[in-house]
């Protein structure tokens, strides 16, 4: 049985005795510690009242603190939404009314009223548009085209080269982002005896292979089917998005990947000719605003060095 | 566990309440010096934010720490984020200077220059003005809470609060345009941070200088704990000359037969008449005659007090004086050119020189070139290779700089800046980022090549800026 003792002149002990004479001091905690403890209790009660805290059933106590932000209604007018405090609503609010959000909005409004030429001529505005465009590209385009627009051969076009299948004007780029693209080359059933020559002829257009005499004329003949889209000399057609076959860029057939091996190159081309290509890019017009698409176009166009 | 000899000790008295200290006012050399330092320090601190300074770009305030634009303005010196090492240099200098001074004359910083000392001193002056000197204050302290005590204490705290508030506001004024802040602050238009900063500083000033006082020095200040490692036997310290004061049979008050020095010395009594004035004037409430103590902030007021008494008696002054331990023991004057002092002195000078060099050798502009890595290179329609680079130029000057861009190490390369800019201009005290395309004919022999961007200022205002980069062929 332990009995606290407090004889005059002695520090209070817990009353426990070990080994006959070992005792433990009983030193109370400082008063400020006790008060700090009470304050934390009061703090937590205030917190429960203000913020979401206790789960019950399939919901939770919402707290009386609220966050106000504006949303655009269905018919375009803005309305204020008041929600119980939560980090998502707070984020929305900050994106609308924080100083940096307001500063960004100011720049966006400036860009909205400027023509592409005006934006290009002002370094600061251009820098802003490029940086917003870069962010937008990362969010919406990079999944297919790659973070730097380098694409994936055969699947997604490389945007960092200077070949623009549909033209490189800002307006064209915006319209393609807006409406999407259906890139299509039908499969050509070129007879087995002609396809080798055709493929070699295509290679020769860009100087990747030498072809002479009869083979050349057979290839040229077979190319007549292709000329409808790619043009008589294979220089492509922007109206249809048919690529220029005479330049050094290969977007679908992985010719550079063959490392100069002609047989491999021919195979690559044969494969494309016989199976055709179907590439689709969805339109982003319903997800991006006009200004966002314009800034995105500025960013995308410069990647190719234009 | 500490042993407690005091029989009244009980568990619920673990924490003793503070005994208020009511130092007596005193006149003298050190009081005058303290007043002068206080005047200069307050003059600088309270007036500096209001000094105007014309600048081409940036605020027209002589000293302003502009956080949103990330610039520190100190008269004609503009500190950019990349110059922040200067702050480190300044702190190093301050530390060495502190060691130097402490090694030489002890805690001079504590006694004369420390904010805690200065503000406590001011608050004590206010106290003395409203409540009277030591005796009156002690009487007031013991009085029950009647109208007189409430009024006097109330007025004191009100004046303290006003000073504390102006201290907090002045500090805040260093971080914003002072006159504008003044207007905004009282029309409730200022930034939240301004109110929070001013509020916190008002409260802490009031608590530290009004109520905590010497407790800050004794319990909170880390400097009090390690100052003694900088002392040696030759360091000048506020000391009581015990040999002279105590004599052979100790200090004795003045009384019949012990009135003159001759009488006292004849009986082996020391010069100290135990008037306790040195204790009464001490702002930390210690008795310097007990020797060097942690609580002593070296303010020298006890020297003033003792000198006053000695002068009144017509005895030589200096019973309490700045003296080194060695001097008190052997009478040898301290050697000021000791190794430690010279070392700290050289370190201080070196830090000063480095700091000055750092200030004057700051680059007026700098560039950084970063290659765009996704993709590293692109094959163009012509078969040429293109690499892209982000070129960022910082201009720290107060005027616009116009650069022409040249590339070295790749003779056939074509360089173009996005936006088709011919020259790269950077606004005064600003920075700009340009995206640069570099195109070069394919070179099957090499993978990569070292290149160098050279930016030449068109009007020759600064040296050309150079930056290395790599051009990747495949």
Among the listed residues B60, B81, B68, B72, the one whose alpha carbon sits nearest the alpha carbon of residue A103: B68
Of B15, B381, B425, nearest to A247 by CB-CB distance is B381
Among the listed residues B305, B446, B289, the one whose alpha carbon sits nearest the alpha carbon of residue B377: B446
Strand partners, B347: none
What pLDDT score does B2 carry? 38
What pLDDT score does B198 carry? 97
Kindly identify which residue of chain A lies nearest to residue B390, measuring between CA atoms. A127
Task: Report CA-CA distances (Å) from B401 to A216, B424, B427.
Answer: 59, 8, 7
Quote the CA–CA distance of B268 and A202 in Å, as a whole number.
122
What is the interface pTM, i.e. ipTM, of the complex? 0.78
What pLDDT score does B9 carry? 43
Contact B379 A161 (CB under 8 A): yes
Structure tokens at B329: 């023991």
> Per-residue pLDDT tens for A22-68?
888 877 776 778 888 999 999 999 999 999 999 999 999 999 999 99
- Is pLDDT above 90 for A214? no
Contact A244 B381 (CB under 8 A): yes
- Is pLDDT above 50 for A246? yes
Which residues, other chains included, contact B245 with Cβ-Cβ below 8 Å and sequence gap of 6+?
B251, B270, B271, B272, B289, B319
Phi, psi of B143 (to 5 degrees): -60, 150
What pLDDT score does A5 carry? 52
Residue recorded with tokens 């319903």 = A286
What pLDDT score does A6 carry? 53
Q: Which residues of A touch B373 (CB under 8 A)?
A: 148
Strand stretches in B372-464, DSSP E = 378-379, 385-395, 401-408, 414-417, 424-426, 431-440, 448-457
Which pairs from A120-128 meet CB under 8 Å and 24+ separation?
Answer: A120/A298, A120/B419, A120/B420, A121/B419, A123/B419, A123/B421, A123/B425, A123/B432, A123/B434, A124/B432, A126/A298, A126/B418, A126/B419, A127/B432, A127/B433
Structure tokens at B146: 């009647």
Average pLDDT over residues B403-426: 89
Q: With cut-offs at 50, 70 and 90, classify the pLDDT of residue B5.
A: very low
Q: How much of chain A is in helix, strand and coil states, percent to nearest 5? A: 50, 15, 40
Quote the CA–CA distance of B388 and A304 in Å, as a whole number.
10
What pLDDT score does B231 carry? 84
> Per-residue pLDDT tens for B317-346?
999 999 988 888 888 887 777 888 889 999
Average pLDDT over residues B17-26: 83
A114 neighbors A100 (Cβ within 8 angstroms): no
* B420 touches A at CB < 8 Å: yes
For residue A259, the tally of other CB atoms under 10 A from its CB is 8
With vertex at residue B390, the alpha carbon angle to CA B464 and CA A130, rounded to the nearest 5 degrees, is 130
Kindly identify which residue of chain B lies nearest to residue A118, measuring between CA atoms. B419
Q: Determine the distance in angstroms separating the CA of A162 from the nearest CA of chain B, rounded to an integer.
A: 6
Residue B333 DSSP one-character state: P
Structure tokens at B452: 């160098």
* B192 touches A at CB < 8 Å: no
- Is pLDDT above 50 for B31? yes
With vertex at residue A297, the alpha carbon angle to CA A293 and CA A299, rounded to the nearest 5 degrees, is 120
For residue A148, the tally of other CB atoms under 10 A from its CB is 20
Q: Determine the distance in angstroms separating the CA of A61 from the nearest CA of chain B, rounded to an integer.
A: 30
Lowest-confidence region among B28-37, B301-310, B438-447: B438-447
What pLDDT score does A72 carry? 79
Q: Determine the distance in angstroms separating the CA of A303 from the nearest CA of chain B, rounded to an integer.
A: 9
Contact A249 B425 (CB under 8 A): no
Contact A11 B4 (CB under 8 A): yes
Q: Which residues of B touch A127 (CB under 8 A)?
A: 432-433
What pLDDT score does A287 carry? 93
Which residues, other chains included, contact B406 with Cβ-Cβ below 8 Å and sequence gap of 6+?
B415, B453, B454, B455, B456
Strand stretches in chain A, DSSP E = 13-18, 22-25, 55-56, 59-60, 66-72, 78-84, 181-185, 277-281
Q: Which residues of A touch B379 (CB under 8 A)?
A: 161, 248-249, 256
Q: With cut-offs at 50, 70 and 90, classify the pLDDT of residue A11.
A: low
Strand stretches in B311-443, DSSP E = 320-323, 365-371, 378-379, 385-395, 401-408, 414-417, 424-426, 431-440
Q: Which position has the higher pLDDT, A27 or A107?
A: A107
Average pLDDT over residues A251-262: 86
- Is pLDDT above 50 for B12? no
Average pLDDT over residues A101-127: 91
What pLDDT score does B215 carry? 85
Contact B418 A130 (CB under 8 A): yes
Average pLDDT over residues A180-203: 89
Contact B378 A27 (CB under 8 A): no
> Residue B472, SS3?
strand
Cβ under 8 Å to A: B residues 433-462: 433-435, 437, 439
B418 neighbors A130 (Cβ within 8 angstroms): yes
* B17 touches A at CB < 8 Å: no
**Mean pLDDT (chain B, rounded):** 89
Quote the CA–CA distance of B105 and B332 in Å, as a whole number.
16
Average pLDDT over residues B96-107: 88
What pLDDT score does B10 carry? 45
- Is pLDDT above 90 for B17? no
Phi, psi of A163 (to 5 degrees): -100, 120
Quote the CA–CA distance of A206 and A199 in Å, as a whole number.
12
What pLDDT score does A38 carry? 94
> Per-residue pLDDT tens for B145-163?
999 999 999 999 999 999 9
Task: Kindly give the residue spans of alpha helices, DSSP state H, lying in A122-253.
Answer: 123-140, 142-145, 170-179, 192-205, 213-230
């Amino acid at each position: 049985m332990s009995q606290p003792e407090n004889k005059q002149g002695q520090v209070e002990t817990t009353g426990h005795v070990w080994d006959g004479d070992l005792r433990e001091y009983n030193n109370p905690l400082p008063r400020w510690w006790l008060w700090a403890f009470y304050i934390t209790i009061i703090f937590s009660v205030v917190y429960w009242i203000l913020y979401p805290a206790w789960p019950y059933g399939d919901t939770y106590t919402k707290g009386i603190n609220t966050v106000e932000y504006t949303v655009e209604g269905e018919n375009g007018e803005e309305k204020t939404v008041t929600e119980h405090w939560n980090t998502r609503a707070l984020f929305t609010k900050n994106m609308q009314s924080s100083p940096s959000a307001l500063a960004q909005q100011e720049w966006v409004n400036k860009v909205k009223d400027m023509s592409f030429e005006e934006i290009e001529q002002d370094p600061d505005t251009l820098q802003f548009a490029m940086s917003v465009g870069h962010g937008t590209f990362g969010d919406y385009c990079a999944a297919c085209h790659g973070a730097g627009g380098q694409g994936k051969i055969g699947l997604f076009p490389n945007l960092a080269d200077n070949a623009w299948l549909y033209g490189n004007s800002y307006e064209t780029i915006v319209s393609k982002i807006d409406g999407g693209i259906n890139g299509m080359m039908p499969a050509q059933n070129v007879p087995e005896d002609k396809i080798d020559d055709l493929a070699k002829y295509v290679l020769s257009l860009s100087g990747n292979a030498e072809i002479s005499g009869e083979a050349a004329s057979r290839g040229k003949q077979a190319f007549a089917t292709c000329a409808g889209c790619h043009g008589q000399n294979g220089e492509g057609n922007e109206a249809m998005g048919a690529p220029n076959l005479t330049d050094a860029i290969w977007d679908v057939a992985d010719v550079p990947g063959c490392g100069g091996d002609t047989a491999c190159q021919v195979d690559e081309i044969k494969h494309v000719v016989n199976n055709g290509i179907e590439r689709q890019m969805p339109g982003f017009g319903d997800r991006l605003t006009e200004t966002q698409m314009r800034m995105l176009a500025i960013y995308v166009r410069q990647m190719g060095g234009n | 566990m500490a042993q407690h000899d005091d029989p009244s000790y009980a568990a619920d008295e673990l924490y003793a309440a503070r005994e208020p200290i009511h130092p007596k006012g005193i006149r003298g050399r050190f009081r005058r010096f303290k007043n002068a330092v206080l005047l200069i320090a307050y003059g600088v601190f309270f007036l500096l934010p209001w000094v105007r300074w014309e600048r081409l770009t940036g605020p027209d305030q002589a000293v302003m720490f502009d956080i949103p634009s990330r610039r520190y303005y100190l008269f004609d010196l503009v500190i950019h984020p990349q110059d922040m090492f200067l702050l480190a240099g300044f702190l190093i200098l301050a530390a060495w200077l502190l060691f130097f001074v402490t090694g030489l004359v002890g805690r001079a910083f504590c006694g004369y220059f420390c904010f805690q000392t200065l503000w406590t001193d001011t608050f004590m002056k206010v106290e003395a003005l409203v409540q009277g000197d030591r005796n009156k204050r002690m009487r007031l302290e013991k009085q029950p809470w009647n109208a007189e005590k409430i009024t006097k204490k109330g007025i004191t705290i009100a004046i303290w609060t006003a000073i504390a508030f102006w201290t907090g506001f002045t500090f805040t004024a260093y971080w914003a345009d002072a006159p504008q802040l003044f207007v905004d602050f009282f029309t409730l238009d200022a930034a939240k941070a301004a109110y929070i900063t001013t509020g916190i500083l008002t409260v802490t000033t009031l608590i530290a200088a009004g109520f905590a006082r010497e407790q800050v020095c004794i319990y909170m200040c880390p400097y009090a704990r390690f100052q003694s490692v900088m002392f040696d036997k030759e360091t000048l310290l506020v000391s009581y000359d015990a040999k002279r004061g105590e004599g052979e049979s100790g200090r004795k008050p003045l009384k019949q037969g012990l009135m003159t020095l001759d009488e006292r010395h004849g009986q082996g009594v020391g010069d100290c008449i135990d008037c306790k004035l040195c204790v009464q004037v001490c702002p930390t409430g210690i008795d310097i005659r007990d020797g060097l103590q942690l609580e002593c902030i070296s303010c020298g007021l006890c020297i003033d007090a003792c000198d006053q008494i000695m002068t009144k008696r017509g005895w030589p002054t200096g019973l309490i004086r700045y003296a080194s331990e060695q001097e008190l023991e052997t009478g040898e004057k301290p050697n000021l050119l000791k190794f430690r002092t010279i070392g700290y002195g050289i370190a201080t000078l070196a830090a000063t020189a480095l700091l000055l060099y750092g200030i004057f050798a700051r680059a007026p502009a700098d560039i950084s070139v970063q290659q765009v890595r996704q993709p590293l290179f692109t094959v163009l329609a012509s078969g040429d290779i293109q690499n892209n680079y982000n070129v960022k130029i910082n201009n720290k000057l107060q005027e616009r700089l116009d650069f022409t861009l040249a590339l070295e190490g790749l003779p056939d390369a074509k360089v173009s800046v996005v936006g088709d800019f011919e020259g790269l201009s950077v606004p005064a005290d600003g920075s700009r980022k340009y995206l640069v395309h570099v195109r070069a004919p394919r070179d099957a022999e090499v993978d990569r090549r070292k290149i160098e961007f050279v930016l030449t200022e068109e009007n020759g205002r600064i040296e050309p800026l150079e930056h290395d980069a790599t051009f990747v062929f495949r």
